[in-house]
Chains A and B, each alone.
Chain A
Amino acid sequence: DTGVSQDPRHKITKRGQNVTFRCDPISEHNRLYWYRQTLGQGPEFLTYFQNEAQLEKSRLLSDRFSAERPKGSFSTLEIQRTEQGDSAMYLCASSSTSGEDEQYFGPGTRLTVT
């Protein structure tokens, strides 16, 4: 299966620690998105890359959050000094400019901050 993959699937961390998540998009997709989802809500957009360029960031993405996509392939999302409010599912999606931008999602990384 060459779908979107995310690692780790689950992460438990203590408040104040830094965490990093990885997303590997579908290989031919040049667009990559990060979303966050809390319990009972739909996913909320965080940021978007086209190739290695970060083109849009949500106001939800505070200074403690940083995302990179250094070679235009995989992406990382880092959260510094985690807070309990950061507990959520972090979802990655990818799409291709050759289609009509249908986004395909990975399984997500569930973060629990204790």
Chain B
Amino acid sequence: DAKTTQPPSMDCAEGRAANLPCNHSTISGNEYVYWYRQIHSQGPQYIIHGLKNNETNEMASLIITEDRKSSTLILPHATLRDTAVYYCIVRVATTTSSALEPDAPTGGGNKLTFGTGTQLKVEL
């Protein structure tokens, strides 16, 4: 899996948008970008993932650059409860073929390789 680089920490004012960057310059065509977060003493929580198009769900938006070498997770209105470690992970999505590399091998589960993530602190 490609390596990711994230800033170790960021601060954000409550109510403001939190923009968390991630570099993944060695990403392959069949690798997706996943984001998880981990609130203190809890298990990681899935947030969002994407391949090349921007994605949005009820939790966040994911913006992936056109060359796919970096991405940004956006929490549109951060609250104190968003204080957590955010992990950006690049990984093959193993159940479906990738639209970018349709002939790439699929099938089989695949572990998540966590780095140290970004500690986001949301403050009043």
User: If the complex has contacts A56-B109, A105-B45, are A100 and B32 also in contact, measured as CB distance less than 8 A?
Assistant: yes
Contact (A104, B46) CB under 8 Å given A42-B115, A42-B117:
yes
Which residue of A is nearest B51, CB measured?
A: A100
Q: Judging by beta carbons under 8 Å apart, are A101 and B115 in contact?
A: no
Cβ proximity bits A78-114 to B, threshold 8 Å, 1 near / 0 not: 0000000000000101010111111111111000000
How far, in Å, is B36 (CB) from chain A's closest CB? Answer: 8
Q: At the interface with chain A, which of B16-24, B62-70, B73-81, B89-97?
A: B89-97
Report the separation of the CA atoms of residues A48 and B109 in the bound assembly, to the nearest whole angstrom: 8
Q: Are B46 and A102 within 8 A (Cβ)?
A: yes
Min CB distance B4 to A, Å, is 11
Determine the chain B residues whose CB is within 8 A of the CB of A45 once the complex forms.
111-113
Q: Residue A43 at the B interface, CB < 8 A?
A: yes
Tell me how far the C-beta of A100 lies from the nearest C-beta in chain B, rounded to whole angstroms. 4
A41 at interface by CB-CB < 8 Å: yes
Which A residues between 11 and 68 are near B, CB-CB below 8 angstroms?
A: 31, 33, 35, 40-45, 48, 50, 55-56, 58
Quick check: B44 and A91 within 8 Å, CB to CB?
yes
State whether B111 touches A48 (Cβ < 8 A).
yes
Which residues on A sit within 8 Å (CB–CB) of B85? Answer: 42
Extra contacts, 16 of them, besides A41-B116, A58-B111, A108-B42 (Cβ < 8 A), are: A4-B43, A31-B109, A35-B112, A42-B85, A45-B111, A45-B113, A48-B109, A91-B43, A91-B44, A93-B44, A97-B95, A100-B93, A101-B95, A104-B46, A105-B45, A107-B42
Interface 1/0s, chain B 28-39, versus A by CB < 8 A? 000010100000
A42 contacts which chain B residues (CB < 8 A)? 85, 87, 114-117
- Shortest Cβ distance from A72 into chain B, in angstroms? 13
Say whether A43 contacts B114, CB under 8 Å.
Answer: yes
- Residues of B within 8 Å of A101, CB to CB, are 93-95, 109-110
- List of B residues within 8 angstroms of A50 by Cβ: 108-109
Give B117's nearest chain A residue, CB to CB: A42
Q: Establish whether residues A95 and B109, one from each chain, have CB atoms under 8 Å apart when the complex forms.
A: yes
Q: Which residues of chain A come closer than 8 Å to B95, judged between CB atoms?
A: 97-101
Inter-subunit contact A56/B111 (CB<8 Å)? yes
